[in-house]
Each structure stands twice: as C-alpha cells, then as structure tokens.
A and B are shown apart, each in its own frame.
Chain A
C-alpha cells in the first residue's frame, strides 16, 4: 500500500510499494518510521541485515537478490546467519525485498 512518507516535516518520495526513490535521503530514523507504518518490528538482528544490504548496495551499486545476499553474508557473519531460512524468519515477506526497503534502496529487480 502506498504511504505518504512524512519525515521531519518533509515528504520523502517513494514508489507505490513504499521504496525510497532516492536512497541518499535514507536515515535510520526514517527506516524506523517505514517499519512502523508497516507494523513491522526491527530488532538488532534485522538491523544487522539492513545495514549489510545497504553497504552491499553502496559498494556494488546493486541490491542483492536472496542468493547473492546469503553468499555475501556468509563471508561476513559466518554460515549460521547466512541461510535463507534465518533470513526468512527475520523477513517473512522475503529478505531481499523487505531489507532493501528499510535500507532505503530500490526493490531488487531479480526478486527472489
């Protein structure tokens, strides 16, 4: 559902699924607001993934789809946190989809 995102008296442009149109406008508090609007609770474990996805995007200029995300996370955090099972537990609607949203990134084109 489209949500008009108003943050610190500013309207932040998003697409109709709520992804930011300009990832440079992202801010941690903005992510919290987006999650609140979705009635989704962000724990430290979620933040770990969100920050990881964001740094992946800044480094490689692309949002990782699930397989690339798990491979990259394995290198960073070890096998335990790098299974798609672990990630789907955190983000039931799809880790790549949901984590990129709260990380302020475009929805991954290759979306699984």
Chain B
C-alpha cells in the first residue's frame, strides 16, 4: 500500500467520522485505489466515511474512462457500488474542475460540487482526514 505522502490530520474530537481526500489522477499511481480500499473497509464496518475530490483527484469522477485499456483494473467502476457500503457523502471542489475546464458530468450520481470555502467547511466537520 502506498502510504508515502499520506497525511493524517486530527480535527475536532467528536467530529463526523473519516474524510478521505483524493488529490491524484486515477491511473498514474496507486493512490486512488488505496483510498477506495480504505473507504470500502470503513463502509463494511459501518464506519462513517466521506470522500473529497480536489486537484487532479477530480479526474477520478469524470465519465467515460477505462483503466483496463492500460491493463490496469478499472477501480472507478467500483464507485457505482458506494450505496452498498453506505458511502453517501461525496464532495468535489468546483475550483479544481474549473481549473481543468471539466464540466460536471460524473460517472456516479450524488456528487456534491462545492465552492472552495464550503469544501473546506465540509472537510472540517470530520474528526480524521486521510489525504491521498
């Protein structure tokens, strides 16, 4: 598991579960897949987890990609199964989309697009933050 660079922050004591920040593009490294595995493990144990996408991480939500063309397991397909893991809080940074001239056509439903301030406020609601 790639844990280098992964920062763990602790916020308010009784905050609202775990936030996972995805800041890397999907198929150039293992970060996105590792973040997904952690999210699914938390979901499997009924632990509250929210997903945040910012920077190049927003590419993980963009439609019509196929990792299998690179002979990599296309883990983005698993995002559509989030409902079975009770992962419902998914946030993407509007500014990151705008900087990359991406529109809001995501491959899953229920993604909340937030302005930078709202994005950091939502993040601050969480007791723990993992950054990938």
Are B44 and A61 within 8 A (Cβ)? no
The A contact surface, by secondary structure, is helix
Instruction: Give, as a whole number of angstroms, the nearest-CB distance from A57 to chain B.
Output: 10
Q: Give the residues in chain A near B78, CB-CB below 8 Å.
A: 60-62
Check A72 for interface membership: any CB of B closer than 8 A: yes
Instruction: Give, as a whole number of angstroms, the nearest-CB distance from A43 to chain B.
Output: 25
Q: How many residues of A contact B (CB 8 A)?
A: 16
State A56–B84 Cα separation when bound (angstroms): 11
Interfacial residues of chain A within 93-112, with CB under 8 A of chain B in the complex? 109-110, 112
Q: Give the residues in chain B near A62, CB-CB below 8 Å.
A: 40, 75, 78, 81
Per-residue 0/1 for B61-78: is the Cβ within 8 Å of any A Cβ (1 yes, 0 no)? 000000000000111011
Are B40 and A61 within 8 A (Cβ)? no
Interfacial residues of chain B within 6-46, with CB under 8 A of chain A in the complex? 37, 40-41, 43-46
Known: A64-B84, A68-B43. A109 touches B37 (CB 8 A): yes
Closest 8 CB pairs of A and B: A68-B84, A60-B81, A61-B77, A71-B84, A62-B78, A65-B44, A72-B84, A60-B78
Would you give 18 A-B contacts (Cβ < 8 Å), ordered by A?
A59-B81, A60-B77, A60-B80, A61-B77, A61-B78, A62-B40, A64-B84, A65-B40, A65-B44, A66-B44, A67-B45, A68-B81, A71-B83, A71-B85, A72-B81, A109-B37, A110-B40, A112-B44
Q: List chain B positions with a Cβ less than 8 A from chain A.
A: 37, 40-41, 43-46, 73-75, 77-78, 80-81, 83-86
